[in-house]
């Protein structure tokens, strides 16, 4: 398996990347920000993505987005092809793109929003911590990406304060916090699962009223 910084020579994978993201969202029944092959190609051409290939076969992908004039960076669109799941590939891709993003945007705060427990775990182990949305970028262009998510009405209803996704932030200037939180609060799967359940029961119940 090769995990490399993507370039325009990987343009031929843009369609399968989008299809795999859309298919997986359908299966999970969760909301997702939609991506077009053209958008993915800009990420490849600007070397703002990481791709995993098994020979010629597409295995996984993740890309970088910069917001607030580069003050914030997100590693988005993480996808592992169903044939390659549960092998630790997402963890490896996230580590490669995390290190690459830190090199490319050394002063940026890194963040993400997700409902995925796997991603919450991976991010936590990389040193991200859960935060309220008020600590994330205020760049409207980022939040506009949520418009194609089926839960967008929750985000607008709460005036962007919360949604089913959990916000996570890595502040490069906060290295001490990472070490301390690892010692004091090892990752606890049940806490985040419970948070997810609570949010779903509150927001989705209100939604169906
Ligand atoms: C989520 C996804 C990227 C995980 O890829 P993967 O390569 O199977 O993940 P890994 O094998 O690296 O697993 C990383 C960790 O997450 C855990 N994990 C994986 N899938 C999980 C799931 N569905 N629920 C809870 N934990 C999960 C693993 O057990 C592993 O933990 P460990 O280190 O304790 O063993 C993959 O299932 C996928 O592409 N799903 C569809 C798209 C998606 O949900 N993207 C994230 C959007 S934010």
CA of 40 to the centre of ligand 1 (A): 21
Write down all domains in the chain, each with its CATH number in brackets.
2-208 (3.40.630.30)
Asked if 167 and 136 count as a contact pair (C-beta separation under 8 A), the reply is yes
Q: What's the whole-model pTM score?
A: 0.89
Report the residue among 51, 89, 116 best suited for mutation to probe ligand 1: largest number of ligand atoms under 8 A from its CB. 116
Query: Is 85 close to ligand 1, i.e. is its CB under 6 Å away?
Result: yes
Distance 209 CA to ligand 1 centre (A): 32
What is the pLDDT, as a whole number, of residue 34?
Answer: 72
Q: What is the pLDDT of residue 61?
A: 98
- Give every residue of the chain whose pLDDT is below 70, as ranges: 30-33, 175-184, 206-209
Q: Alpha helices of 56-188 — where are they, by DSSP H?
A: 89-104, 117-126, 140-144, 152-157, 175-184
Q: What distance in Å separates the CA atoms of residue 138 and residue 158, rounded to the nearest whole number?
A: 15
Residue with CA nearest ligand 1 atom 20 = 118
pLDDT at position 184: 66
80 Cα to the center of ligand 1, angstroms? 8
Q: Whose C-alpha lies nearest to ligand 1, atom 33?
A: 88
Q: Which atom of ligand 1 is nearest to the CA of 81?
A: 39
Q: Closest ligand 1 atom, CA of 77?
A: 47
Nearest CA, atom 23, ligand 1: 118
What pLDDT is attached to residue 57? 98
Name beta bridge partners: 113.
167
Task: Burial-class residue 103 by CB neighbours within 10 Å (0-12, 13-18, 19+).
Answer: exposed
Q: How many CB atoms lie within 10 A of CB 136?
A: 22
Residue 133 pLDDT: 96
- Per-residue pLDDT tens for 170-190? 999 886 665 666 656 777 888
95 to 44, 68, 102, 192: CA distances (angstroms): 18, 23, 11, 21
| CB 133, CB 169: distance < 8 Å | no
Q: How far is the CA of 14 from the centre of ligand 1 (A)?
A: 21
Q: Give the tokens for residue 199.
A: 């949010």
């Amino acid at each position: 398996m090769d995990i490399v910084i993507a370039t325009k020579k990987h343009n031929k994978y843009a369609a399968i990347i989008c299809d795999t993201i859309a298919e997986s969202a359908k299966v999970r029944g969760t909301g997702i920000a939609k991506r077009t092959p053209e958008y993915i190609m800009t990420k490849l051409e600007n070397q703002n993505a990481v791709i995993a290939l098994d020979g010629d076969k597409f295995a996984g992908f993740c890309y970088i987005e910069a917001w607030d004039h580069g003050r914030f960076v997100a590693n988005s669109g993480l996808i592992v092809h169903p044939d390659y799941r549960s092998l630790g590939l997402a963890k490896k891709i996230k580590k490669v793109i995390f290190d690459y993003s830190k090199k490319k945007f050394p002063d940026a705060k890194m963040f993400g929003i997700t409902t995925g427990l796997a991603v919450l775990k991976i991010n936590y182990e990389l040193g991200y911590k859960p935060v309220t949305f008020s600590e994330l970028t205020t760049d409207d262009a980022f939040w506009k990406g949520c418009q194609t998510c089926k839960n967008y009405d929750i985000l607008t209803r709460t005036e962007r304060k919360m949604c089913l996704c959990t916000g996570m932030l890595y502040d490069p200037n906060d290295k001490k916090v990472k070490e301390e939180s690892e010692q004091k609060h090892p990752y606890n799967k049940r806490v985040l699962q419970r948070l997810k359940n609570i949010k779903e029961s509150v927001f989705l119940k209100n939604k169906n009223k």
